[in-house]
C-alpha cells in the first residue's frame, strides 16, 4: 500500500495585497517586511508620510513590493473612504495604537478619549472597512489586529490601555462569527512588551523592567522579529482554520 502523505499548507503570499497600518516603525514595520518577504504586495499606511516613504524605499531596495499610503485611523470616516478607494485588500494588519499610561485615579478625560479613539474606534472601523471591500469583491481574507497581552490581564498604570485591548478581543470574536461564511478570518496577535519607539519610556524605568522580566517566563523582552512569524502565519493558508482567536506572543506572561 502506498501511503499518501498530508501536505503542509503554504506560508507564501504571492498574489495577495496586504494593508499594514501603523507601518512606519516598530511592530507595524516588522509586519510589513514579513508579509513582503512572503511574497505579498504590501501597502504601508500611517500618519507620517515621510517615515513611511523611507520604510517603503528600504523594502524596495531589498527587492520586495511596497507602497505608501497616508492614513489616520483616528478619523474613521476618512479611513473608510481611503480603504474603499484603495482596496480590496486580502490581508490587514492593524498595528496602529496609542498608550497614555498613568494611575486610574488620575486618568484625564482627554487621554481616555484619545486612546479609545485609536485603539477601539479606529481599529473597529478600519477592520470593518477592509471586510466590506472583501465582501463586495466576493473574496476571502485574513484580518489581524495587533492587540496585547494586556487584553487578557491587567497592569499597573494601564487601566485605559488594557480596557481598549480587551474590547478589541471582543469585537474580533464577533466579526469572526459574522464573516466566517464569507471566508474572512479575523484574529489578534497579543504581544508582550516589545522593544519599539513606543515602549522606550517603559524600558527607561528600572522598576518597570524588573516587573516585566519577572512576569515573562522566557526571561527576556520581545523584539519586533518575534512578532513577524506570527503575522505571516495568520495571514497565510497555514492558519486557514483559525479565526476569532488570539495568538499570544507573550513569553508565557499570561500562562500563570
If you average pLDDT over every residue of the chain, what do you get? 95
pLDDT band for position 155 (cuts 50, 70, 90) = confident
| Cell representation of residue 45 | 499606511
Domain boundaries, the chain: 17-255
pLDDT of residue 254: 95
Q: Give me the residue label for grid cell 485591548.
A: 165
So what's the pLDDT on residue 55? 95
What are residue 42's phi and psi, to 5 degrees? -110, 130
For 58-89, b/e burial (b = at least 16 CB within 10 A) is: ebeeeebbbebbebbbbebeebbebbeebbbb
Sheet holding 184-191, edge to edge: 66-70, 41-46, 17-21, 91-94, 141-146, 184-191, 246-249
Bridge partners (DSSP) of residue 67 are 43
| Beta-carbon count within 10 A of 172 CB | 25
Residue 32 phi/psi, 5° resolution? Answer: -60, -45
pLDDT tens for each residue of 196-250: 887 888 888 888 889 899 999 999 999 999 999 999 999 999 999 999 999 999 9
CATH number of 17-255: 3.40.50.720
165 is catalytic: yes
Alpha-carbon distances, residue 55 vs 51, 170, 195, 221 (angstroms)? 6, 32, 18, 24
Active site residue 217: no
Cα-only R_g, the chain: 18
Residue 202: the pLDDT is 83
Q: Which of 16, 165, 173, 217 is catalytic?
A: 165
Q: What is the pLDDT of residue 118?
A: 96
What is the reported pLDDT for 246?
Answer: 97
% of residues, the chain, pLDDT over 70: 100
Would you say 228 and 34 are in contact if contact means Cβ atoms under 8 Å apart? yes
82 has pLDDT over 90: yes
Whole-model pTM: value is 0.94
The whole-angstrom distance between residue 55's C-alpha and the CA centroid of its chain comes to 17
- pLDDT tens for 16-71 read 999 999 999 999 999 999 999 999 999 999 998 889 999 999 999 999 999 999 99
- Give the model's pLDDT for residue 213: 92
Count other Cβ atoms within 10 Å, centred on residue 138. 9
Catalytic residue among 16, 161, 181, 217: 161
Q: Are 175 and 252 contacting, i.e. CB atoms less than 8 angstroms apart? A: no
C-alpha cell at 100: 497614555
Mean pLDDT of 170-193: 98
d(CA 212, CA 24): 26
Distances (CA, A) of 111 to 117, 137, 160, 161: 10, 38, 9, 10
Amino acid at each position: 500500500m502506498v501511503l499518501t502523505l498530508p501536505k503542509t499548507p503554504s506560508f507564501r503570499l504571492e498574489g495577495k495585497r496586504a494593508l499594514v497600518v501603523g507601518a512606519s516603525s516598530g511592530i507595524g514595520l516588522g509586519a510589513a517586511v514579513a508579509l513582503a518577504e512572503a511574497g505579498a504586495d504590501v501597502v504601508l499606511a500611517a500618519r507620517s508620510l515621510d517615515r513611511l516613504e523611507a520604510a517603503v524605499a528600504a523594502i524596495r531596495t531589498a527587492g520586495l513590493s511596497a507602497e505608501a499610503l497616508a492614513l489616520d485611523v483616528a478619523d474613521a470616516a476618512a479611513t473608510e473612504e481611503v480603504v474603499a478607494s484603495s482596496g480590496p485588500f486580502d490581508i490587514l494588519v492593524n498595528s496602529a495604537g496609542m498608550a497614555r499610561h498613568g494611575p486610574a485615579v488620575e486618568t484625564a478625560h482627554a487621554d481616555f478619549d484619545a486612546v479609545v479613539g485609536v485603539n477601539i474606534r479606529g481599529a473597529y472601523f478600519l477592520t470593518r472597512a477592509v471586510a466590506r471591500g472583501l465582501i463586495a469583491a466576493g473574496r476571502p481574507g485574513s484580518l489581524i489586529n495587533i492587540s496585547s497581552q494586556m487584553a487578557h490581564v491587567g497592569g499597573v498604570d494601564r487601566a485605559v490601555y488594557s480596557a481598549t485591548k480587551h474590547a478589541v478581543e471582543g469585537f474580533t470574536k464577533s466579526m469572526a462569527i459574522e464573516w466566517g461564511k464569507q471566508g474572512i478570518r479575523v484574529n489578534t496577535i497579543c504581544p508582550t512588551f516589545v522593544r519599539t519607539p513606543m515602549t522606550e519610556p517603559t524600558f527607561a524605568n528600572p522598576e518597570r523592567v524588573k516587573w516585566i522580566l519577572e512576569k515573562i517566563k522566557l526571561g527576556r523582552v520581545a523584539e519586533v522579529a518575534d512578532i513577524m512569524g506570527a503575522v505571516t502565519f495568520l495571514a497565510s493558508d497555514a492558519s486557514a482554520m483559525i479565526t476569532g482567536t488570539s495568538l499570544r506572543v507573550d513569553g508565557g506572561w499570561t500562562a500563570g
